[in-house]
């Protein structure tokens, strides 16, 4: 059972090659906290319904915590349930924390002589260095090699917001906001700018879905595409929590990859003013 | 000679009285509630200079306790928290105080008039109550005060009658 979950997660993580992928998300119980020694509970899950735990937990070992000073933070009381992972953060530093998932690597697909489709890394496989050379037949039919990255972020602020955890590391698809992510209010539109390996990219697709899917008939997704500067403008329909996913792919890849693709996911909370 | 000196003193005194007469105060009502579980509201009174958006804190009432547990709910006065609260280190002498039960309170804001900037200013009153709601009211006034005036605003849920008194 455990193996199946892990396998499914890894399969889903090897995203861009697969036609359909599940939605990953991290949901902090609160994103703005006051007090001397605040604690916050965070849930992490993989499910297509936003934000309902009904599929797989997003396992804690895929996640890390960055503290306002840029150092790693501790996840307390980690528990993995059938449908979600949960943990607590003790916000001992003032400022903005980040919960992060960051994965990247080579992916390959090809066809055998018999016409069967093959993927690497395979189901449940964690690639080791040198595996690409050993396990991917370079002469195979329709061989496609891509470099893909997935980055997921959620922000939590104790006291006044800070910017250290917002710094881009210029790898994969990343997002910069015109307003601090813990300063979003429903009456103020925000501009989001997307960067691939550090450069703004046009044509990235951005999907933003409001919380509470169970109580409506449609996804109510905002579907946007970045302009020449890599930007999209978002008018929040209302206060609440939103799941954001952006995707981008092009052929500016480093060999042996012929494509590079990035996925960026964030949970954003918008308050009423 | 004596009389001149007296006159001089009288003039100086008169000037002082004049300066002290500039007055800013607010009468704030916390309405009584007929509810099963009642907690005194957190209340913040602050002034924002309209042009510069600079903020001067007047009064903040919150649950002050040994373990600073009460600070956990300061964020519920969410506009105050966003604009100024999150950058402050509470408690603040002359600004923070314990919560108050329902009643009408006169709050003297003369301790902050020296910090106010000329031009239009917005006085905000924000209240948030555990197991209750949150209400935000505001009143605009020009600083410095040219003539005596009292400005009123009526709360609907967490706040009652508010009267801002301004004396030149």
- Preceding omega of A250 cis (within 30 degrees of 0): no
Chain B nearest-CA distance from A95, in A, is 10
Residues of chain A where predicted confidence (pLDDT) is lower than 50: 1-9, 11-12, 14-19
In this prediction, residue B21 carries a pLDDT of: 57
For position A233, which CATH number holds?
Answer: 2.60.40.10
Nearest CA-CA partner of A97 in A128, A129, A75: A75
Residues from chain A contacting residue B82 (CB–CB below 8 Å): 183, 185, 271
Check if the beta carbon of residue B48 is closer than 8 Å to that of residue B55: yes
Classify residue A112: in a domain, yes or no.
no
In this prediction, residue A20 carries a pLDDT of: 55
Classify residue A67: in a domain, yes or no.
yes
Check if the beta carbon of residue B75 is closer than 8 Å to that of residue B81: yes
For A34, the closest of B67, B79, B81 (CB atoms) is B81
The whole-angstrom separation of Cα A84 and Cα A240 is 21
Classify residue A135: in a domain, yes or no.
no
Residues from chain B contacting residue A38 (CB–CB below 8 Å): 72
Classify residue A167: in a domain, yes or no.
yes
Residues from chain A contacting residue B74 (CB–CB below 8 Å): 34-35
For A34, the closest of B67, B75, B79 (CB atoms) is B75
Count of CB pairs separated by less than 8 Å, A with B:
36
Task: Look at residue B3 and tell me whether its pLDDT is greater than 50.
Answer: no
B6-59 tens-digit pLDDT? 444 444 444 444 445 579 999 999 999 999 999 999 999 999 999 999 999 999
Residues from chain A contacting residue B69 (CB–CB below 8 Å): 35
Put simply, the answer to whether B73 touches A159 (Cβ < 8 Å) is no
Put simply, the answer to whether B75 touches A33 (Cβ < 8 Å) is yes
Classify residue A113: in a domain, yes or no.
no
In chain B, the residue whose alpha carbon lies closest to the alpha carbon of A31 is B75
In chain B, the residue whose alpha carbon lies closest to the alpha carbon of A182 is B82
In this prediction, residue A75 carries a pLDDT of: 98
A16-43 tens-digit pLDDT? 344 456 899 999 999 999 998 999 999 9
Chain A nearest-CA distance from B35, in A, is 26
B63-115 tens-digit pLDDT? 999 888 999 999 999 999 999 999 999 999 999 999 999 999 999 999 999 99
Put simply, the answer to whether B73 touches A38 (Cβ < 8 Å) is no
The whole-angstrom separation of Cα A173 and Cα A98 is 17
- Tell me the average pLDDT across B137-145: 96
Classify residue A231: in a domain, yes or no.
yes
Q: Residue B24 — φ and ψ, nearest 5°?
A: -135, 120
In this prediction, residue B37 carries a pLDDT of: 95
Please, what are the domains in chain B?
22-167 (2.60.40)
Question: Could you report the predicted ipTM of this complex, rounded to two decimals?
Answer: 0.84
**Structure token pair of residue A79:** 């528990």
Using alpha carbons only, what angle is made at residue A117 by residues A116 and A118, rounded to the nearest 5 degrees? 115
Residues from chain B contacting residue A33 (CB–CB below 8 Å): 72, 75
Residues from chain A contacting residue B48 (CB–CB below 8 Å): none
In this prediction, residue A232 carries a pLDDT of: 98
Q: Assign A149 to helix, strand or coil.
A: strand
A208-222 tens-digit pLDDT? 999 999 999 999 999
In this prediction, residue A122 carries a pLDDT of: 84
Chain B nearest-CA distance from A213, in A, is 26
Neighbouring-strand partners of residue B132: none
The whole-angstrom separation of Cα A205 and Cα B46 is 43
Q: How many CB atoms lie within 10 A of CB A241?
A: 19
- A→B interface, C-beta within 8 Å: 32-38, 157, 159-161, 183, 185, 271-273
Residues from chain A contacting residue B68 (CB–CB below 8 Å): 35-37
Number of domains in chain A: 1
Nearest CA-CA partner of A221 in A243, A189, A197: A243
Classify residue A221: in a domain, yes or no.
yes
In chain A, the residue whose alpha carbon lies closest to the alpha carbon of B79 is A273
The domain containing residue A15 runs over which residues? Answer: 2-104+146-270
Strands A76-80 and A39-46: unpaired
Classify residue A134: in a domain, yes or no.
no
Put simply, the answer to whether A273 touches B79 (Cβ < 8 Å) is yes
């Amino acid at each position: 059972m455990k193996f199946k979950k892990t396998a499914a997660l890894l399969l889903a993580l090897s995203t861009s090659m697969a036609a359909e992928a599940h939605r990953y998300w991290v949901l902090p119980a609160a994103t703005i906290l006051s007090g001397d020694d605040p604690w916050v509970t965070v849930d992490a899950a993989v499910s297509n319904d936003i934000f309902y735990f009904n599929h797989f937990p997003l396992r804690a070992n895929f996640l890390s915590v960055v503290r306002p000073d840029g150092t790693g933070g501790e996840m307390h009381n980690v528990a993995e349930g059938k449908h979600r992972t949960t943990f607590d953060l003790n916000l001992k530093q003032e400022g903005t924390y980040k919960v992060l998932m960051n994965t990247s690597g080579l992916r390959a697909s090809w066809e055998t002589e018999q016409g069967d489709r093959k993927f690497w890394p395979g189901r449940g496989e964690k690639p080791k260095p040198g595996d690409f050379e050993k396990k991917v037949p370079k002469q195979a039919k329709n061989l496609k090699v891509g470099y893909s990255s997935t980055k997921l972020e959620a922000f939590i602020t104790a006291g006044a917001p800070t910017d250290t955890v917002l710094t881009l590391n210029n790898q994969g698809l990343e997002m910069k906001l015109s307003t601090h992510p813990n300063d979003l209010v429903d009456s103020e539109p925000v501009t989001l700018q997307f960067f691939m390996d550090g450069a703004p990219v046009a044509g990235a697709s951005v999907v933003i879905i409001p919380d509470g899917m169970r109580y409506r008939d449609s996804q109510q997704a905002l579907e946007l595409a970045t302009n020449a500067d890599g930007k999209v403008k978002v008018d929040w329909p209302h206060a609440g929590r939103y799941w954001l996913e952006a995707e981008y792919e092009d052929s500016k890849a480093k060999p042996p990859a012929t494509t590079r693709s990035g996925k960026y996911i964030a949970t954003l909370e918008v308050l009423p003013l | 000679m004596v009389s001149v000196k007296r006159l001089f003193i009288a003039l100086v005194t008169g000037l002082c009285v004049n300066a002290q007469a500039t007055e800013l105060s607010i009468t704030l009502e916390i309405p009584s509630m007929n509810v099963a579980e009642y907690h005194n509201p957190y209340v913040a009174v602050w002034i924002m200079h309209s042009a510069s958006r600079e903020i001067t804190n007047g009064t903040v009432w919150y649950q002050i306790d040994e373990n600073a547990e009460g600070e956990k709910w300061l964020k519920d006065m969410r506009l105050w928290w966003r604009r100024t609260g999150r950058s402050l280190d509470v408690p603040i002498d002359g600004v923070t105080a314990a919560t108050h039960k329902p009643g009408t309170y006169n709050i003297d804001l003369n301790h902050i008039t020296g910090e106010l900037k000329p031009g239009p200013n917005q006085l905000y009153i924000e209240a948030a109550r555990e197991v209750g709601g949150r209400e935000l009211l505001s009143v605009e006034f020009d600083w410095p005060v040219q003539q005596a005036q009292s400005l009123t605003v009526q709360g609907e849920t967490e706040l009652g009658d508010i009267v801002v008194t301004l004396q030149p």
